[in-house]
Amino acid sequence: MKVRTVTAGVDLDPGAMDEQIEDAGNFLSSARERFTDSGLEVQTVRLSTQPWSDLIRSIEGEELVRTALDIERRARAAGIDYISLGPSKTPGQISLLPLLFGETTFVCASAFLGNVATGPLENNIRAASRVTLDIAAISPDGSRNFMFSSCACCPPDIPFFPAAYHGRGGPSFTVGLENGDIVYGAAMRASELSSFRELLSYEYSSALEKVENICQDLERDGDLQYRGIDTSIAPGLGRDGSVALSIEKLTGSPFGSHGTLSAAATITSSLPDLGVKSCGYSGLMLPVMEDDRLAECADMGSLDLQKLLLYSSVCGTGLDAVPIPGNTSIERISGVLRDVAHLSIRWGKPLSARLLPIPNRIAGEMTNIHSPYLRNCSVISVI
């Protein structure tokens, strides 16, 4: 298991931004050191802010870019790897995001699709679909959409990006993990689903206890409130980090066959009873380009968006790192986002969609994105 992210959440004040970001950077540096000394690799440290429309004076593209670049510069100087400026709440705000991603390097943001109180917001869904295509055109490989997601029912204090944002209150921190190896180990030793659940719950809760003890020490010794661990199951590259391969071991069938849904439900059924303060999605992540076996399934043509969204009905987290054809229409992307929003709102469950239209690629052709955290795979059609 690794620490994918320690995320500090800060309600930025334009008049005190220098000190706030420096303090967050110092805390995150201390957190990285504390986890590393305990034998846990920390992949990234991150900063989430209040929704950007609550920070800047006017909702204009130039001011958004200027503010984001200022935050990015200060965060880089403070040793922070990524920043999330939170959800864009209206079609007008969403429409400014391509400007943001065209000028910044490691700033993330999201589009708000709705929640239980608002219902699905059709105009936001259309705007998010349009900017998904606009953001894809910023870079030849389509990789800028990794910094953007469309979200429904996502609360504050999610440590994972791009959905993260800080809620009301003082500075805080949360932790997100890469833990596919724990699931894989339990799946290799279990003889059936019932014994797998017990084994996973025992081993994961033991691993989480160590993480929470460190978090409680950091809270006691610092000025940031500990708001929890996102206990989501998140795969990593490599066979022993693959959640899809673990599911195949449990079902005895290829991922996507009958039995996949019940295996996914068994995994997520163990997450509420782990004995730690939890936050965020706390579900099962199936990011296509971040799981070797999922990427292989895409290469074989056995993976589709309908199946992935179906698994979100048993406490998944949505559609993540899904490469789609660059010429996918706004209407088809809107259909996908509409499904995500309705499913999320129907069950009151945080879901997000990070779709990656790949310029000049059609279904079945390979992506060409260079990242140590991703595995290139075949583009998946949207039908």
Bridge partners for 151 per DSSP: 112, 352
Q: Report residue 336 CA to chain centroid gap.
A: 17
Cα–Cα dist 165/101, whole Å: 17
d(CA 70, CA 72): 5
- Interacting residues of 372 by C-beta distance below 8 A, sequence separation 6+: none
Angle at 239 between CA 304 and CA 4, to 5 degrees: 85
Tens-place pLDDT, residues 264-292: 999 999 898 899 999 999 999 999 999 99
Cβ-contact 250, 266 below 8 angstroms:
yes
User: What tens digit of pLDDT does each residue of 322-347 get?
Assistant: 999 999 999 999 999 999 999 999 99
For 1-134, strand residue ranges (E) read 2-10, 42-49, 82-88, 107-115, 119-120
In this structure, are residues 230 and 176 in contact, taking their beta carbons and an 8 Å threshold? Answer: yes
In contact, 169 and 370? CB cutoff 8 Å: no
Tokens of 340: 């995500």
Asked if 113 and 341 count as a contact pair (C-beta separation under 8 A), the reply is yes
Amino acid letter, 151 = C
pLDDT, residue 253, reads 96
Percent of the chain with pLDDT over 70: 100
Q: How far apart are CA 165 and CA 9, in angstroms?
A: 7
CB 278 within 8 A of CB 228: yes
Helix (H) or strand (E) holding 324, with range, is: strand 318-325
Each residue's pLDDT expressed in tens, for the chain with a length of 383 residues: 999 999 999 999 999 999 999 999 999 999 999 999 999 999 999 999 999 999 987 777 899 999 999 999 999 999 999 999 999 999 999 999 999 999 999 999 999 999 999 999 999 999 999 999 999 999 999 999 999 999 999 999 999 999 999 998 899 999 999 999 999 999 999 988 889 999 999 999 999 999 999 999 999 999 999 999 999 999 999 999 999 999 999 999 999 999 999 999 999 998 988 999 999 999 999 999 999 999 999 999 999 999 999 999 987 899 999 999 999 999 999 999 999 999 999 999 999 999 999 999 999 999 999 999 899 999 999 98
pTM, entire model? 0.96
Helix (H) or strand (E) holding 228: strand 225-230
Structural domains for the chain: 1-285 (3.20.70.20)
- Other C-beta atoms lying within 10 Å of the C-beta of residue 99: 18
CA distances from 341 to 98, 101, 123, 125, 336 (A): 22, 24, 12, 9, 9
Q: Is it true that the peptide bond before 156 is cis, omega within 30 degrees of 0?
A: no
355-375 CB burial, b ≥16 within 10 A, e <16: bbbbeebebeeebebeeeebb
